[in-house]
Structure 1
Amino acid sequence: MGQSADQQPDVDSRPYHHGALRSQLLAAGLELVKAEGVGALSLRRLAREAGVSSGAPYHHFADRAELIAAIVVDGHELLFTRLETARAVSSDAVAALRELLVAYASFAVDHSAHLRVMLRPELAEPDAHPEVTSAGARPIELLRSIVQAAQDEGAVAPGDPEPMVHLIWSLAVGYVTLWLDGPVEARCAALGTTADDMIRQVASTVEELLRRPRT
């Protein structure tokens, strides 16, 4: 029978590169995603890109799903750090929500390959890799805590915070998806602005709406 692209091959005579191979493979995977999309990821392809034996990646990743899981977890850690920094420099919870939107967009631009994989968590087989779900929950929990702080400050109506959490989350993900796929940049260019400036204006509009007295 034929061998699948990510079935572990027989050990060959080429040397296994120790040391920083795991990080090299992750970096090669992200470059592939950036150039060709998530579908290009395979352990055999990464071995070729890294210049190692076809069996070497299996010292670090059991299969493609484990590779994708590692990229997703790494991406969420990078995102969480950026969002936490945005909250830390904000004067109050409403300002933090504004800065979270801007920070999410800047993360998407700086780490577009990470984000494209993060938006496909099912490829990581989360039942087999629960760390994917845990990592993805951290940014959402951070957002939830800020929404609850905004409720305490009176800017967001009391009660279930989830509708506002989903509103901000959907706005962030929707905007960067349109940005990375092209429509936002094209529209902003037609308007004489940039996608970066526009997300700042969008975030400021959200802040302005939240700061208006509730009737």
Structure 2
Amino acid sequence: MPPTKDRYHHGDLREELLRASLRLIESEGLAAVSLRKVARTAGVSPGAPYHHFADRAALMSALAARGFEILGAAMTSARDTAPDPRAALIAMADGYVAFARDHAAYFRIMFRPELSQPDKHPDTEAAGDAAYAVLVDAVAAAADSGFLPATDTETTTLAWWSLAHGMASLTVDGKFALRATQSGTTPEALTDRITRIFADLIDRS
């Protein structure tokens, strides 16, 4: 479709540029993303992206922030629908991995500060902090309930994040699905099993 100035309203253009960026990442990888190529993919003029993004880092920052918002919402939903704090942490870890599987393009950007330059784009760091705060609150609730030790909850939070993020990274890289297949199960079932084993270890500690 040829570029056109009138194809999108102002607000719609920003969203379409973000969607075009995700399509490029999914089909060609992070290195393929440039403002010019995003414009071509979106079917707009080469200068159109600059109305919303000063440079490539600004675009990446917006994508990373959006990813953290989606992740935070997924973890909040998992926490709020769980029957108890222990189940909430298990569901949140499962949800973290599911987010990475379903939104791999976002996941590949979110933890790459050299791409999004959060020091120049504080909204990205704020979105990441907000998502992490959901986990912090869940660990605090689990400690209050007696499931987790009440001391050193900061380290416990990092341990849960490390577990979930490690499984998510393996999922995005395709390693987790391979291991699940070799074990005669599904990636989702393997994720849940590992998370429950981790929870059981904490129960016994």
Deviation at 1:92, TM superposition (A): 1.7
Distance in 1 between the 2:72 and 2:93 partners? 13
Deviation at 1:211, TM superposition (A): 3.4
Q: Is structure 2 residue 158 aligned with structure 1 residue 166?
A: yes
Distance in 2 between the 1:122 and 1:135 partners? 17
Distance in 1 between the 2:16 and 2:88 partners? 35
* 2:5 matched residue in structure 1: 16
Deviation at 1:207, TM superposition (A): 2.8
Amino acid at match of 2:5: Y
Deviation at 1:123, TM superposition (A): 1.2
| Structure having the higher Rg | 1
Q: Is structure 2 residue 83 aligned with structure 1 residue 91?
A: yes
Distance in 2 between the 1:68 and 1:110 partners? 19
Amino acid at match of 1:16: K
**1:85-108 CA-partner distances (Å, limit 9, x unpaired):** 101111221111000011111111
* 1:186 matched residue in structure 2: 178
* 1:5 matched residue in structure 2: none
Distance in 2 between the 1:127 and 1:189 partners? 41
Provide TM-score, normalisation by structure 2. Answer: 0.92
- Name which of structure 1's ranges 112-121 and 94-103 shifts more when overlaid on structure 2: 112-121
User: Is the CA contact 2:72–2:132 (under 8 Å) kept in the aligned structure 1?
Assistant: no
* 2:70 matched residue in structure 1: 78
Q: Percent identity?
A: 41
Amino acid at match of 1:128: K
Q: Is structure 2 residue 44 aligned with structure 1 residue 49?
A: no
Matching residue within 179, 186, 191 for 1:199:
191
Matches within 5 A, 1:204-215: 204-212=196-204, 214=205
* 1:67 matched residue in structure 2: 59
Q: Is structure 2 residue 53 aligned with structure 1 residue 58?
A: no
User: Is the CA contact 2:109–2:116 (under 8 Å) kept in the aligned structure 1?
Assistant: no
Q: Is structure 2 residue 92 aligned with structure 1 residue 100?
A: yes
**1:169-205 CA-partner distances (Å, limit 9, x unpaired):** 1111111111111221111111111111100111222
Amino acid at match of 1:154: G
Residue-pair matches, total: 200
Distance in 1 between the 2:23 and 2:62 partners? 15
**1:100-130 CA-partner distances (Å, limit 9, x unpaired):** 0111111111111111111213311111100
* 1:33 matched residue in structure 2: 25
Q: Is structure 2 residue 102 aligned with structure 1 residue 110?
A: yes
Distance in 1 between the 2:195 and 2:153 partners? 19
Deviation at 1:45, TM superposition (A): 0.5
Distance in 1 between the 2:195 and 2:142 partners? 15
Distance in 2 between the 1:152 and 1:68 partners? 38
Distance in 1 between the 2:4 and 2:162 partners? 47
- The structure with the largest helix share of the pair is 2
Amino acid at match of 1:179: T
List gaps (5 residues or longer) in structure 2: none
Distance in 2 between the 1:122 and 1:88 partners? 34
Distance in 1 between the 2:28 and 2:154 partners? 36
Provide TM-score, normalisation by structure 1. Answer: 0.88
